[in-house]
Structure 1
Amino acid sequence: MKENNFDAYLTNGKITLFCGMHTNSFKNDILHATLYADLLATRGGNDQEVWWQTYTQTLNRFGCTLNSREVRRLEFHNTRLFNIVVESTESALSENEQQALSSVFSELGTLPANSLAIEAIITRLQANAYNGTADIADARTKKQPVSTAMLLTIVRNDKTLLTLQISFKTNAGITPDTLNQPVLTTIKDGKNNIRLLHSSLDERQYSQIRETIINKLGNKLQTDLLHLTPPPCPN
């Protein structure tokens, strides 16, 4: 992949990566549709199985064709988030897409802890933190074991979407290290921790509700969308 031939955003604290060249209108449709589905699913709480069902069902109503889906359990110990993403998607990601994803994680690793991007991701991970006997609410802010989940969307050059939800435990609390350090471990509950969805947006169908979604999002378009890697100005 050519340098800067990707574009990354945060939507309500989750990473959305566009690989290849896409029009601004298509990017906006994806960002707005996924942000709205995200916010709607989040209203139901932080049960990640319920959240996933609401999120995918909402996208389907918006014109996202669900091509295939996979739910499974992956074992890992003291692993980086990037490595889990690559292993979870297996052969689905091309070398260029992995390179783009690696660049995004590297960029996040250079940002100060008080940057808007890092704070947005941490806030989202804290909101997703699992409350159980071993993972109490205080673990959201203290350096002790806590279980949470992250969602990542990769928009490929052919406009198809890979949406990945990963549930994991971090033994040092939710900190910026969660993004790039080998601190993530499988949650020992026997449940599936990987959900992968292949989909595509029917742009014609979505165009019929585009303005409605924009109006419903309102100021969320300013507060919950963050451009991570603005493309360089053309020569």
Structure 2
Amino acid sequence: MPYSTADIYIVDGNITLFLGSHSETFKQDILHSSLLANLVSNSQSIASENWLSAYKKALGNLFWITKSSGNQLLKKQPASIIKFATPTLSSLLSATELKQLSDAFGTIKNLPEDSDALIALLNKIQHGSDNANTVCPLLTVIAANKTIISLRPVFDTIHPVNIAILDEELSQKEVLSGPQITLWVTYLAEEKYVSVRNKIIEKLGSKITTHLHHIPPYEKTALLDA
């Protein structure tokens, strides 16, 4: 079977990857419901547990059904998103799917600096305070079997990070705390979601255009720019 790339979206500044083949209707349902949940949760600090709780509650109301959920606190160590994602997701994704995840990060890193998607991601990936900077990305991976895997590492750093944090490690000296990893596995009850689909699209309105960004594979982007 030929190798395929992930279908990449930035949803209100968070990364969503579709692995395998999915219908456009299913993709739009996932994207729209998660966008609405993001917007509902944004009254809370993105680095807080309150934000994540509000996000999960909102999606529960939109028929994302929880299969499992857990937290893990790791020791202080050099940090990157891929460093924490790979071992955490290795029991849920194949080696090929993990490679798709790594390649997707490379595609995102190659976005132009003035890209709306990149700007949204950098604005959402961390929260700064007087004493520290909290890195708190949300990564959502939809596997080929439609399982939705959400991963959120949270850790403090001595300075703000840039997009290199996806797969280039910060040194341990730059990291102030061991990461707290939240892993949340769900699925969309599609037959129930149909009843609210149009209402969600109506509620989102123009935000579907302004807060939802599709990123084509890097190879295609490079060819278009050539």
Q: Which residue of 2 aligns with 1:140?
A: none
In structure 2, relative to structure 1, the CA distance for the partners of 1:63 and 1:130 (3 Å cut) is: same
For residues 50-95 of structure 1, what are the alpha-carbon distances to aligned partners after superposition, in whole Å with 9 as ceiling and x for unaligned? 1111111111111111011011112352232112111233412211
Matching residue within 195, 200, 225 for 2:212: 225
What is the rounded CA distance, in whole Å, between the counterparts of 1:116 and 1:44 in structure 2?
Answer: 23
* Percent identity between the two aligned chains: 29
Q: Which residue of 2 aligns with 1:134?
A: 131
Where do 4+ consecutive residues of structure 1 move more than 6 Å? none
Q: Is the contact between residue 113 and residue 176 of structure 1 (CA under 8 Å) also seen in structure 2?
A: no
Q: Which residue of 2 aligns with 1:18?
A: 18
In structure 2, relative to structure 1, the CA distance for the partners of 1:223 and 1:28 (3 Å cut) is: same
Q: Which residue of 2 aligns with 1:102?
A: 102
Q: Does 1:168 align with 2:166?
A: no
Corresponding residue pairs, total = 217
TM-score by length of 1: 0.84
For residues 162-202 of structure 1, what are the alpha-carbon distances to aligned partners after superposition, in whole Å with 9 as ceiling and x for unaligned? 011111233442323323321176553x7x71111110000
Q: Which residue of 1 aligns with 2:74?
A: 74
Q: Is the contact between residue 170 and residue 178 of structure 1 (CA under 8 Å) also seen in structure 2?
A: no
What is the rounded CA distance, in whole Å, between the counterparts of 2:207 and 2:27 in structure 1?
Answer: 16
What is the rounded CA distance, in whole Å, between the counterparts of 2:88 and 2:176 in structure 1?
Answer: 15
Q: How much is the aligned-residue C-alpha RMSD, in angstroms?
A: 2.2
Which stretches in structure 1 are left out of the alignment for 5+ residues? 136-145
The one-letter code sitting in structure 1 at the alignment partner of 2:143 is: R
What is the rounded CA distance, in whole Å, between the counterparts of 2:161 and 2:188 in structure 1?
Answer: 33
Q: Is the contact between residue 158 and residue 176 of structure 2 (CA under 8 Å) also seen in structure 1?
A: no
Q: CA deviation at 1:103?
A: 0.8
Q: Which residue of 1 aligns with 2:124?
A: 124
Q: Which residue of 1 aligns with 2:136?
A: 149
Which stretches in structure 2 are left out of the alignment for 5+ residues? 221-226
Q: Which residue of 1 aligns with 2:224?
A: none
Matching residue within 158, 174, 178 for 2:165: 178
Q: Is the contact between residue 47 and residue 135 of structure 2 (CA under 8 Å) also seen in structure 1?
A: no
